[in-house]
Amino acid sequence: MHKEFLMGNAAVAMGAIAAGLNVVCGYPGTPSTEVLETAAKNNDGKLYVEWSVNEKAAMELGAGAAYSGARTMVTMKQVGLNVAADPLMSLEYLGVKGGMVIMVADDPGPISSQTEQDTRHFASFSKLPCFDPSSVQEAYEMIQEAFEYSEKYHTPVFFRPTTRVCHGYASINVKDRNEYKTNTPEGFVKDSSKWVIFPRLSFNAHINIEKRNAELSDVFSEYKRNIITPAKSPCRKGIASHGISYTYVQEALKNKENPAVLKISTPFPFPEKLAVEFLKDLDEVLCIEELDPVIERELIYVCGKYHLNTKILGKLTGNVKTAGENTCDSVYNNIAEFMGWELLNQDSPETPPLPVRPPVLCAGCPHRASFYAVKTAMKGQKSVFCGDIGCYTLGNAMPLDMVDTCLCMGAGVNIAQGIGKIEPDTRCFSFVGDSTFFASAITGAVNAVYNQADMTLIVLDNSTTAMTGHQPHPGTGRTMMGQIVDKVNIEAVLRGVGLKTVETVNPLELDKAVETVKRVSAEKGVKAVIFKSPCAVLIKPEKPAVIDEDKCINCKKCINSLGCPAIIISEGKVRIDSSLCTGCGLCSQVCPVNAIGGKENE
């Protein structure tokens, strides 16, 4: 054992490696990404690591490896689980041989997600056991236990941290390398009565799953991480909590005698006996949860089933907020109200109006040029711009204002198709990044071609998965095993699925980009423009642009049309912040009086 200062996600990865991990696969998504990245960084050569093309592919690869006896971890964010739902729901009926942990990070807030969905529901829906860690240290230990349970019961299990656990850091106790477990996979043993899903098998499996989960409810009532902390002085009230909120409860109850606290680390199967034990001497229990009232509903159910008179309070009764993340303060005040304590006094002197800093596309981001080119090309034309998930969702911000819709990964293609079917006189565009294209827009493109859509697909190809921290994907020619491989060519894919017109252009060559969009979008059918230019964060910047103050007429067209963070106003004049400017040259092409010079003016 030794101490290390680890991010929660790194602790999950190192815990899994200590448990004898053989395979880890997943798709990037905040707040889950660093799990796989840490595993890859600590690969001693025996681990197989891959960024799969999407979560469904990862889940299926993980299943195959686990069928073969490997200890396998599949990583994703909560919305990624929706993509992997199909293999997951069937996999449960077959089970696994090697331990398989599905690491799904939830995001209360949401801080960087489309939804506040709660994977604990997915656990009960898919009938899979679920582990819910509350701290970095616990995440490290619990992931190892999750593998043991998975292998013992031949079932995949969920491991469900939330953002503050994933991205929290702590100095924790970790194992030395010689304490690591090793797992040598037996290999795939053919048995069609086991690995081929048929209605008869599913019927029998269903009976066994229900039986096993009833057993697990009892087993989890004894699990050392489902715990009751009794009150130090008599009290008829109690708190039930989980995850990071449990640590806020601990902070709130420092130096307090009561109430008693129930910590739920396995929301499914719910440790019913432990809950009865907790509830039987209590009049009221306040449930402090993030996302959905899962524990709250379970306790209400337990009260009904066992004829207990305890009143259960929480989100459903308006005692805890229904959306967004909890904080130390919100939890303290929830408990204070419940217990009749004084609320926190947090008045601060009123502040002057603070500048707002919404996230924006980086200085030099090629997406800015792409959006501006399409906007310019479509001036005066009835058009609609369907966005997608990635950095380029930020194209919605003023002044670009180029994202009319955004739903989920890859959705923009067929949303554009749908709008076009109802509004045939509108020029319909869909914007998709290169990683998202591979993850889930290819089927959309096939659908659009087959069903005679009239739309323009814009692929924003910056040769990386930028939003989540620059992971490789099939178009980059690099893998997480360090191999250099053939790149999957986006233009060839699009031609392969039947697009007749696919043009690739550098968006930073503005006139050419505008002309291409005008020409291509005027054609009938499905056609594509690939804007190819590397992510500004990954390339060495060019010399920053400079403004010729004699020429500048202070019209602010550069600011009002591009919204680049490197163009600022200082002492009433437009200036370039040379520490941010990458010298992309877009603003110099927009300036009406040629006042902005880049490298060509040197």
Partner 1 sequence: MNKNILLCGVGGQGIVLTSKLTAAAAMEKGYDVMSAETIGMAQKGGSVFSFLRIGEDMYSPMFGKKSADIIIAFEPAEAVRMIPYLKDDGCVIVNTNPVMPVTSALKAGNYSGNEMLGYLRQNVRNLITVDGIKACQDIGSPKVLNMIMLGKAVKSGVLPFSIDDVTAIMEKTVKPQFVEMNKKALNWE
Is 299 a binder of partner 1 (CB under 8 A)? no
The residue with tokens 């060019």 is 542
Q: Give the nearest distance from C-beta 585 to partner 1 in angstroms.
A: 19
- Single out the residue of 45, 349, 380, 592 in contact with partner 1 (rule: CB under 8 A): 349
- Single out the residue of 193, 233, 309, 346 in contact with partner 1 (rule: CB under 8 A): 346
Is 383 a binder of partner 1 (CB under 8 A)? no
Q: Give the nearest distance from C-beta 345 to partner 1 in angstroms.
A: 8
What's the CA gap between 121 and 103, in Å, rounded?
15
- Single out the residue of 45, 304, 358, 482 in contact with partner 1 (rule: CB under 8 A): 358
Q: Which stretch binds partner 1 (CB under 8 A): 48-56, 78-86, 271-279, 357-365?
A: 357-365
- Single out the residue of 96, 453, 457, 567 in contact with partner 1 (rule: CB under 8 A): 567
Q: From 102, 87, 69, 245, select the one nearest 162 (Cα to Cα).
A: 245
Is 31 a binder of partner 1 (CB under 8 A)? yes
Half-sphere exposure of 179 (CA within 13 A, CB side): 10
Is 394 a binder of partner 1 (CB under 8 A)? yes
The residue with tokens 């096993």 is 212
Is 546 a binder of partner 1 (CB under 8 A)? no
Q: Give the nearest distance from C-beta 171 to partner 1 in angstroms.
A: 5
Q: Which stretch binds partner 1 (CB under 8 A): 167-175, 180-188, 225-233, 539-547?
A: 167-175
Tell me the three state secondary structure of residue 501.
Answer: coil
Is 30 a binder of partner 1 (CB under 8 A)? yes
Nearer to partner 1, 45 or 352 (CB): 352
Peptide bond into 31 cis (omega under 30): yes
Judge contact between 391 and 431, C-beta under 8 A: no
Handedness of CA 332, 336, 339, 342 (dihedral sign): positive
Buried (b) or exposed (e) across 413-450, using 16+ Cβ within 10 A? bbbbbbbbeeeeebbbbbbbbbbbbbbbbbebbbebbe
Is 329 a binder of partner 1 (CB under 8 A)? yes
The residue with tokens 């002492």 is 571
How far is the CA of 429 from the CAs of 390, 393, 420, 473, 514, in angstroms? 16, 14, 9, 24, 14
- Single out the residue of 5, 198, 203, 450 in contact with partner 1 (rule: CB under 8 A): 5
Is 430 a binder of partner 1 (CB under 8 A)? no
Q: Give the nearest distance from C-beta 15 to partner 1 in angstroms.
A: 18
What's the CA gap between 588 and 577, in Å, rounded?
15
Q: Give me the 128-147 binding string for partner 1, x by CB under 8 A, dash otherwise.
A: -------xx-----------
Ramachandran region, residue 498 (left: φ > 0; alpha: ψ -120 to 50; beta: rest): left
CA 214 and chain centroid, separation: 32
- Single out the residue of 322, 327, 381, 451 in contact with partner 1 (rule: CB under 8 A): 327
Q: Give me the 222-251 binding string for partner 1, x by CB under 8 A, dash otherwise.
A: ----------------------x--xx-xx
What's the CA gap between 473 and 539, in Å, rounded?
18
- Footprint of partner 1 on 170-209 (CB under 8 A): 170-171
What's the CA gap between 593 and 549, in Å, rounded?
11
Nearer to partner 1, 62 or 168 (CB): 168
Cα torsion for 581, 582, 584, 590, to the nearest 10°?
0
| Strand 455-461 relative to strand 427-433, pairing | parallel
Nearer to partner 1, 90 or 327 (CB): 327
| Strand 130-131 relative to strand 573-576, pairing | unpaired
Q: 412 Cβ partners below 8 Å, 6+ apart?
A: 386, 387, 388, 405, 406, 430, 431, 432, 441, 444
Is 360 a binder of partner 1 (CB under 8 A)? yes
DSSP state of 68: T
- Single out the residue of 96, 101, 174, 361 in contact with partner 1 (rule: CB under 8 A): 361
Q: Which stretch binds partner 1 (CB under 8 A): 38-46, 200-208, 394-402, 423-431?
A: 394-402
How far is the CA of 284 from the CAs of 29, 331, 333, 343, 370, in angstroms? 39, 17, 17, 20, 58
Nearer to partner 1, 309 or 346 (CB): 346
Is 348 a binder of partner 1 (CB under 8 A)? yes
- Single out the residue of 2, 351, 424, 524 in contact with partner 1 (rule: CB under 8 A): 351
- Footprint of partner 1 on 96-135 (CB under 8 A): 111-112, 135
Q: Give the nearest distance from C-beta 89 to partner 1 in angstroms.
A: 29
Nearer to partner 1, 357 or 524 (CB): 357
- Single out the residue of 362, 455, 508, 581 in contact with partner 1 (rule: CB under 8 A): 362
Q: Give the nearest distance from C-beta 164 to partner 1 in angstroms.
A: 6
Length of the chain: 602
Q: Give the nearest distance from C-beta 579 to partner 1 in angstroms.
A: 6
Judge contact between 39 and 167, C-beta under 8 A: no
Judge contact between 433 and 388, C-beta under 8 A: yes
Q: Give the nearest distance from C-beta 468 to partner 1 in angstroms.
A: 8
Judge contact between 200 and 192, C-beta under 8 A: no
Q: Which stretch binds partner 1 (CB under 8 A): 48-56, 116-124, 345-353, 419-427?
A: 345-353
Number of residues that bind partner 1 (CB under 8 A): 57
List of residues contacting partner 1 (CB under 8 A)? 3, 5, 30-31, 111-112, 135-136, 164, 167-171, 244, 247-248, 250-251, 254, 327-329, 332, 344, 346, 348-349, 351-352, 354-362, 391, 394, 398-399, 467-468, 556, 559-560, 563-565, 567-570, 579-580
